[in-house]
Amino acid sequence: MSLESDLYAILGVSPLATQEEIKRAHRALARRFHPDSGTDEASAERFREIEEAYRVLGDPLRRRAYDKRRTERGPDDQPLLTWSIVASRDRLPALDEEQTLYVLAEIRPVAGITIQRLPLNLCLVIDCSTSMDGERLNYVKAVAHQIIDDLEERDALSLVAFNDRAEVLMPSQKMEDRGRAHARVTSIWAGGGTEILQGLTAGLEQVRRLHHAEVISHLILLTDGRTYGDEEQCIAEARRAGLERIGISAVGIGEDWNDAFLDNMVHQADGVAVYVAHPQQIRNVLLEQVRRLGTIFAQQLRLNLRLSDRVRLESVFRATPHFERLPFRQESVSLGMLQSGIPLQVLLELVVAPLTPGRHRLAQFELLAEVPAVQRQERLIADLASHVVAGPVPDTAAAPIINVLSRLSIFRMQEQVWNALERGEPEKAQQRLEQIATRLLDVGETELAHMALLEAGRVARSGVVSEKGHKTLKYGTRSLGFKR
Amino acid sequence: MIECPSCGKKHRPGTLFCSECGVYLPSGGALRTSPLATNELPKSRAATWEGMPQEEHEAETHPLLLKIMDTGREVHIPSSPEVLIGRLDAAHGIFPDVDLTAEGGLAMGVSRRQAKIVQRGGELFVEDVGSANGTFLNGQRLTPYLPYPLSKGDIIQAGRLRVQVFWE
């Protein structure tokens, strides 16, 4: 079915939103776009659309019927996505205590399907605070010039520079006049502080101008500093952008930016945050981000779980293209986007309560995804069942699960270091860092292992880690997900 | 609950990696293959070595069927030019294609890297890759790091475990 007329998109809410959330979204939009609202956004057509969407979604019965139609497929439509689901054990021992069961889901485009690359609608939001002056800004400008040259004519680009306030260097436009874009990049200069909300709202405004269902709209924020006091608003803006299918990614340069905040912000809008230690790396990292946008196969991936009452969900991790702990709410997890060349691996950690011998259905998985190139919503369903047996069950698990878990365990130990430091337990943090170093050496990550040992020593002496060490280990162990 | 052999932290059964120290829990802690007494291994002269053909012409590799004789488990290997037999040790990045952990490989004297089956020019060879207790082909001890030709139904012995090899 067409996404352009997607009622959820019109109201800017998730297909899993509660009735209350739908009601609230409707009220806010109706007020904003009402023809008599007196604002410059007033639009009779948009208002009619909003009212029509609410007439259906606001009524639970009509909504259910609409949901059914929304995910239905014609008999001729080939599925575009496929997945495999493997559990760490296919037989479970009957125990009188809880046990852990891992499930690895691997999602990929159906073999042989190629889709054309959609036009990009890209916005670069560049931090021009004083600290960016010199080498950092020069590298950013150089790569901006290259992006302008690399984009195709059907792609659109806008440029926003910000410090305490934002300036639209170049409004959103197709790449027909590259000369103008180059001139705008050259005019960037540095000065002032860092207020990310300013740049973010100005950038999103530009992206929205040319945003529609058949482009990939994405905002890339480049920053080297912390924003103060506007974090909450930035997250809210990002969430809104995410619901509108506008992605947000970030490149953090140097040690002074707030990684927890940027990670959270980009997660709201299906993007990634990347750490750049040296200005020389800006070029490759940014070009890779833009290249990645050209390979988007599906977006708005969401995994819904229906668990048996004997099973609960303990944690969810994404394993590719990098490790990430995924927050879940009411057994529903947002997985972001799927690239053409890279299968998306998701690892679930389930806890199974004692079961009697026999066959048990443990869970049902539902995957929802949008394939923007063909304007289709995809839906996959799979069941997980297990034989519970009285005797002992061998400890061996499927090799792909062990492979993912062995590297994920390093990433999870790293999480514990920061938690221990936050709770004021430096001894524990130091011990963890030493164990991480050992494990990193085992898997051949000598440089990261060295960094972990350095930071362990620093914690022993002063009780804290350096920002550089923190970011190197966090973003370094995270990308262990993509090795091998 | 199960206990981490390395740091003692308690985990739910089924947990695969210790959250405290990252150790692979089913490994049982002991990672070194212990030497077996000589009377537990076949008494024999060394197998004769015929060498592997040097010319590298492209030929199809065969999917393999390995029967672990002591437990009857069958392992199907899709065609692959090299198949590693051993015990899985995730911490050290050793992921053998044929993992004998479940057969009590540790107690049976199987090394983490025991032997490999190589396919070259349409023929199959077995090679000991420096195992602690040696690899035997039809009861004859292999010189480490030399490939010996395999025939269908041959029995490879790793420590005390015997594996019979078949292919199409």
CATH number at residue B132: 2.60.200.20
Domain that holds residue B88: 64-167
- Name the residue facing B26 among A92, A101, A395 (closest C-beta): A395
Q: Look at residue B132 and tell me if it is in a domain.
A: yes
CB distance A221 to A250 below 8 Å? yes
Whether residues A162 and A277 share a domain: the answer is yes
Name the residue among A95, A395, A406 with its Cβ closest to that of B91.
Answer: A406
Residues A272 and A237 in one domain: yes
What does the mean pLDDT of chain B come to?
81
Cβ <8 Å between A412 and B102: no
Residues β-bridged to residue A414? none
Q: Which of B2, B11, B15, B99 to mutate to test the interface with A (most CBs of A within 10 A)?
A: B15
Sheet containing B147-149: order of strands: B98-99, B82-86, B113-120, B123-128, B147-149
In this structure, are residues A157 and A175 in contact, taking their beta carbons and an 8 Å threshold? yes
Count of pairs with CB atoms under 8 A, one residue in A, one in B: 79
The SS3 assignment for A249 reads strand
CB atoms within 10 A of CB B34: 11
Encode pLDDT of B115-155 as tens digits: 999 888 788 899 888 888 889 999 888 887 788 889 999 99
List, in sequence order, every residue forming a beta bridge with A310; answer none if it has no partner: none
Rounded to two decimals, what is the model's pTM? 0.69
A402 and B91: CB-CB below 8 Å?
Answer: no
Task: Give how many domains chain B has, as a whole number.
Answer: 2
Q: Which of B9, B16, B25 to mutate to test the interface with A (most CBs of A within 10 A)?
A: B16
- Most A CBs within 10 Å, among B3, B4, B12, to test the A interface: B12
In this complex, which of B19, B90, B101 lies closest to A412 when CB atoms are compared? Answer: B19
Q: Is B42 inside any structural domain? A: no
Give the number of residues written for chain B. 168
The pLDDT value given to residue B37: 64
**pLDDT attached to residue A413:** 92
Instruction: Determine the distance from the C-alpha atom of residue B43 to the mean position of all C-alpha atoms in its chain, rounded to a whole number.
Output: 20
Across A382-395, b (16+ Cβ under 10 Å) vs e yields: eebebebeeeebeb
Let me know if residue B52 belongs to a domain: no
Domain residue limits at A49: 7-71
ipTM for the predicted complex comes to 0.71
Q: Is B130 helix (H, G, I), strand (E, B) or coil?
A: coil
- The CATH number covering residue A286 comes to 3.40.50.410
Q: What is the DSSP letter of A192?
A: S
The pLDDT value given to residue B136: 92
Pairing of β A328-329 and β A332-339: antiparallel
B166/B154 Cα distance (integer angstroms): 8
| Distance between CA atoms of residues A302 and A71, nearest Å | 13
- The rounded distance, in Å, linking the Cα atoms of B26 and A314 is 21
Please report which helix (H) or strand (E) contains residue A92, including its range.
strand A91-93
Among partner residues B18, B93, B102, which is closest to A442 by beta-carbon distance?
B93
Question: CA-CA distance, B51 to B120, in Å (whole number)?
Answer: 12
Q: Is residue B44 part of a domain?
A: no
Q: What is the CATH number of the domain that holds A357?
A: 2.60.40.3670
Tens of pLDDT along chain A (484 residues)? Answer: 444 467 888 888 877 778 888 999 999 888 888 888 777 766 788 888 889 899 999 988 888 888 877 766 555 567 889 999 999 988 899 999 999 999 999 999 988 887 888 899 999 999 999 989 889 999 999 999 999 999 999 999 999 999 989 999 999 999 888 888 899 999 888 888 889 999 999 999 999 999 988 899 999 999 998 888 899 999 999 999 998 899 999 999 998 899 999 999 999 998 989 999 888 889 999 999 899 898 999 988 999 999 999 999 999 999 988 899 998 888 899 998 999 888 999 999 999 999 999 999 999 999 999 988 888 888 999 999 999 998 787 767 777 888 888 889 999 999 999 999 999 999 999 999 998 988 888 777 888 999 999 999 999 999 899 999 999 999 999 888 655 4
User: Which stretches of chain B drop beneath a pLDDT of 70?
Assistant: 27-59, 91
pLDDT reported for residue B146: 80
Q: Which amino acid is at B41?
A: L
- In three-state secondary structure terms, A475 is helix
Domain-embedded: residue B49: no
Secondary structure (H, E, C), A298-357: EEEEEEEEEECCCEEEEEEEECCCCCEECCEECCEEEEEEEECCCCEEEEEEEEECCCCC
